[in-house]
Structure 1
Amino acid sequence: MDLNQMGQAAKSAATVLGQLSTIEKNRALNLMADELQNKASEILAANKIDIDSAEENGIEGVMLDRLKLDNEIIDAMADGLRQVSSLADPIGEEIKGWVTEDGLNISQVRVPLGVLGMIFEARPNVTVDAAGLAFKSGNAVILRGGKEALHSNIELAKVLRTALKENDFPVDAVQMIDNPDHAIANQLMNLTEYIDVLIPRGSAKFIQMVVKNSTVPVIETGAGNCHIYVDETADLKQAVDIIVNAKTQRPSVCNAMEKLVVQRSIADKFLPMVEEALHAYNVELRGDAATKEVLPDIKLATEEDWSTEYNDFIMAIKVVDTLDEAISHINKYNTKHSEAIITKSYDASQKFTKEIDAAVVYVNASTRFTDGFKFGFGAEIGISTQKLHARGPMGLNELTSTKYIVRGEGQARK
């Protein structure tokens, strides 16, 4: 495998993509969606190889769930591509325009980033989401998935490329690295001549490895040590329902809740309600000393617990005296992803949303909504937890840059 050749091919494809009309890009996306559903049996056969291998290697539970594909998931991936095709095309959009005192007509317009690199773990649906969003925003993409989903990723990319090739679209707009060797990943991280932006998705440890080793500009995404704070004015039944959803619906994903913070004045009443509700899902609870006074059978949380993204049926609980203490605790240990407050107090909600440092802050809702599809973006290429260029779920607009178009009538600067 020659990454330089892949990079050159991606650059050439990006040039062609930049000339396609919105109608042409939408047609390609719909053709890719149709091909996914037409080749579902081949995709599932490849996925079974990955699942069997994962089980042989001791992968189980929620981590195995991240790998699994079925007809419903394939249909959802196809629908995601169709939804992306229905969204407004950001390329060429005029963001603002004005005339200067020199009579120059200046407009700022959206343009593609160019070539995207994606390095991701486990979840094969990322292949389709990334390809669709990249294509619609005029970017070529080189994908490198984890070894656990190798066969699934290769087959998905093959299907998407077939749809492009058979309909005379630039096939190298979507490329998949089929070698899981870490040396190849390291080479991709330093392919500055061809890749404009690198987007990693996976565990906190994995993302930090990419950030520290890449010379290509990186958009940091993903890791989610997400908290829900329940204050003394909260509707406790509503709070329990939100916590159950945020923790148990799909604990392996980055927007799942990992930590519960509770105001001391309601702890005696509320924590047993939480314990009873989560017991039905076999959630292991850990807590600080104040929590153990109310729930004596749970494990005592360690310092490591507060910063751990479990991705599993485990949750740690912290009892605090005040909203200020809750905000301080969350900002100390969170990963700048998604944080929520359950409250009936407008003042408390305003303070929380202003002072919490995170990409997404919720009032009386589950953290599970931090998702490009749920935000109306069609899909997402990742959830940015940094502050430069993009923050939060990254859809089409976040995969663009801008350029200034300046029109004059012979002006020369004096």
Structure 2
Amino acid sequence: MNTLLNIETRNAVLLKMAELLDKERDAIMKINKGDLEAYDGDDISMYDRLKVDDSKVDEMIKSATHLASQEDPVGVERFSFKHENGMQVYNKTASFGTILIIYESRPDVTVEAAGIAFKSGNKILLKGGKESLKSNLKIVELWHQALKSQGASTDWVEYLQYNRTETQAFLEKPTQKLDLIVPRGGERLIAFVKEHANCPVIISGRGNNFLYVHKEADLDIALKVIINAKTAKISGCNALDKVLIDENLPNKEAFIKTLISKLKEFNVQILGDEALVKFEGVEAIESYAIWYKEFLDYKIAIAEIESNEATIAMINKYSGGHSASIITTNNAVAETFMENVDTAAVYHNASTRFTDGSQMGLGGELAISTDKLHQRGPIGLQHLVTNKWYVHGNGQIR
């Protein structure tokens, strides 16, 4: 078992990692180019996640540096109690132990997610997708250099070069102690991990996010938010997939026509219900199953709806439990929507793209959980800990 590294060592490793990422920037991008050239799929969101450019390296450096500046999440006192028999009882945060992160195509996860788990005192096991293998191995090599520079064991960050069969076997019968698994990727990956894992799993983010344009919406805000949430980053689990428009919206036809033309500027495929198909550029929704689907693509589904109550019911039935937004100038309606929609994040007059650890003030995230235990939404440094009871006595018996 690895003894917990003190906070000074953990911070020094993270700062060294930031320095190495900058120094090896060109080498990382060159290796990543090989992964990109070898990728033979046609999934544009997968390709987008796989790509490492200057701005992605900058984000990795920023993440490692920021983590080093944050307070130690381990050993924080959450509760204290003085027993009548004189015992002093404390409850403090503690690291999980060993965390396995299974992810698809994102070399930045090898820095950002691993960094958060490492800062919170955990040993990290990484299992990335085959499409990003070379990029991931290069970044893990930098982790090992950073650990060695501080006299720490390279065991703290380990990369598992397993195929699907080997991964399944490891999940079912781990060859080392495993305390928590975080799958980062599509629904198939998450379902695979849930089916085979023998320890707690944090379910990270099926998107399928909804936005409701209420009859008292500011239409300029509605247009701006829909375009941003749909097109800014289609590979993000916080991207927008579904828009519900109040059937009593004033100037509804003009608004819908403007929305269609703006979406078409970004080559977004528009699917619509029977009220929307009469507009040029809208294809008919063929099956209600589409409302369950996360697109991760330049695709959107739009429908008319009769009320806030009907919208809440529809979102709670079909969404992925991730994020939902209402556009309205009526604060009471917004409050009803936000209190009753069952998603990890709810928005009033803002884009769903802000469901992100750094955007919500956490300084980064391991994942965005759509589970309700033990943390919902972005999982930051302070959430990647469990707790432990410390009891000090001098011979007390019960």
TM class by shorter-chain length?
over 0.9
Q: CA deviation at 1:233?
A: 1.0
1:272-287 superposed matches below 5 A: 272-287=257-272
Paired position in structure 1 for 2:160: 177
Question: What amino acid is aligned across from residue 284 of structure 2 in structure 1?
Answer: L
Of the candidates 118, 140, 148, which is equivalent to residue 135 of structure 1? 118
Query: Structure 1, residues 339-391: CA drift from partner, whole Å, max 9, x if none?
Result: 11111111111111111111111111111111112122222111111011111
Do 2:105 and 2:131's aligned partners in 1 also have CA atoms closer than 8 Å? yes
> Is residue 383 of structure 1 aligned with residue 368 of structure 2?
yes
Paired position in structure 2 for 1:398: 383
Local SS of the residue matching 2:230: helix
Q: CA deviation at 1:75?
A: 1.7
Paired position in structure 2 for 1:75: 58
Of the candidates 67, 70, 73, which is equivalent to residue 87 of structure 1? 70
User: Quick one: structure 1 residues 400 and 245, their matched pair in 2 at CA, closer, same or farther if it must change by over 3 Å?
Assistant: same
Q: Distance in 2 between matches of 1:269 and 1:320?
A: 17
TM-score, scaled relative to structure 2? 0.95
Q: Distance in 2 between matches of 1:80 and 1:272?
A: 41
Local SS of the residue matching 1:289: coil
Query: Structure 1, residues 40-94: CA drift from partner, whole Å, max 9, x if none?
Result: 122112211110011xx24353331111101221121011110111111111100
Q: Distance in 1 between matches of 2:84 and 2:241?
A: 55
> Is residue 186 of structure 1 aligned with residue 168 of structure 2?
yes
> Is residue 100 of structure 1 aligned with residue 83 of structure 2?
yes
> Is residue 245 of structure 1 aligned with residue 228 of structure 2?
yes
Q: Distance in 1 between matches of 2:326 and 2:84?
A: 49
1:4-403 superposed matches below 5 A: 12=1, 15-16=2-3, 18=4, 20-54=5-39, 57-59=40-42, 61-179=44-162, 181-192=163-174, 193-266=176-249, 267-293=252-278, 295-301=279-285, 302-403=287-388
Query: Structure 1, residues 96-144: CA drift from partner, whole Å, max 9, x if none?
Result: 2122333332111000000000111111111111221111100011000
Q: CA deviation at 1:315?
A: 0.3
Local SS of the residue matching 2:263: helix
Q: Distance in 2 between matches of 1:259 and 1:227?
A: 5
Do 2:82 and 2:89's aligned partners in 1 also have CA atoms closer than 8 Å? yes
Question: What amino acid is aligned across from residue 221 of structure 1 in structure 2?
Answer: S
Question: What amino acid is aligned across from residue 194 of structure 2 in structure 1?
Answer: V
User: Quick one: structure 1 residues 122 and 259, their matched pair in 2 at CA, closer, same or farther if it must change by over 3 Å?
Assistant: same
Query: Structure 1, residues 301-343: CA drift from partner, whole Å, max 9, x if none?
Result: 1212111111010000121000000011111111111111111
Question: What amino acid is aligned across from residue 281 of structure 2 in structure 1?
Answer: D
Do 1:190 and 1:216's aligned partners in 2 also have CA atoms closer than 8 Å? no
Gaps of 5+ in 2: none
Q: CA deviation at 1:262?
A: 1.1
Q: Distance in 2 between matches of 1:262 and 1:84?
A: 41
Local SS of the residue matching 1:362: strand
Local SS of the residue matching 2:238: coil
Do 1:261 and 1:317's aligned partners in 2 also have CA atoms closer than 8 Å? yes
TM-score, scaled relative to structure 1? 0.92
Do 1:110 and 1:401's aligned partners in 2 also have CA atoms closer than 8 Å? yes
Question: What amino acid is aligned across from residue 371 of structure 2 in structure 1?
Answer: Q
Do 1:189 and 1:198's aligned partners in 2 also have CA atoms closer than 8 Å? no
Q: CA deviation at 1:204?
A: 1.5
Question: What amino acid is aligned across from residue 110 of structure 2 in structure 1?
Answer: T
Question: What amino acid is aligned across from residue 158 of structure 1 in structure 2?
Answer: E
Local SS of the residue matching 2:222: helix
Do 2:102 and 2:181's aligned partners in 1 also have CA atoms closer than 8 Å? yes
Gaps of 5+ in 1: 1-11
Q: CA deviation at 1:238?
A: 0.6
Bigger drift between 129-138 and 166-175 goes to: 166-175
Q: Distance in 2 between matches of 1:253 and 1:297?
A: 25
Local SS of the residue matching 1:309: coil
Query: Structure 1, residues 217-247: CA drift from partner, whole Å, max 9, x if none?
Result: 2111121111111101111101110111100
Question: What amino acid is aligned across from residue 75 of structure 2 in structure 1?
Answer: G
Q: Distance in 1 between matches of 2:378 and 2:200?
A: 18
C-alpha RMSD of matched pairs (Å) = 1.4
Q: CA deviation at 1:296?
A: 4.4
User: Quick one: structure 1 residues 124 and 258, their matched pair in 2 at CA, closer, same or farther if it must change by over 3 Å?
Assistant: same
Do 2:13 and 2:149's aligned partners in 1 also have CA atoms closer than 8 Å? no
Bigger drift between 73-82 and 266-275 goes to: 266-275
Question: What amino acid is aligned across from residue 324 of structure 1 in structure 2?
Answer: E
Do 2:98 and 2:124's aligned partners in 1 also have CA atoms closer than 8 Å? yes
Question: What amino acid is aligned across from residue 170 of structure 2 in structure 1?
Answer: L
Question: What amino acid is aligned across from residue 177 of structure 1 in structure 2?
Answer: L
Q: Percent identity?
A: 36
Paired position in structure 2 for 1:410: 395
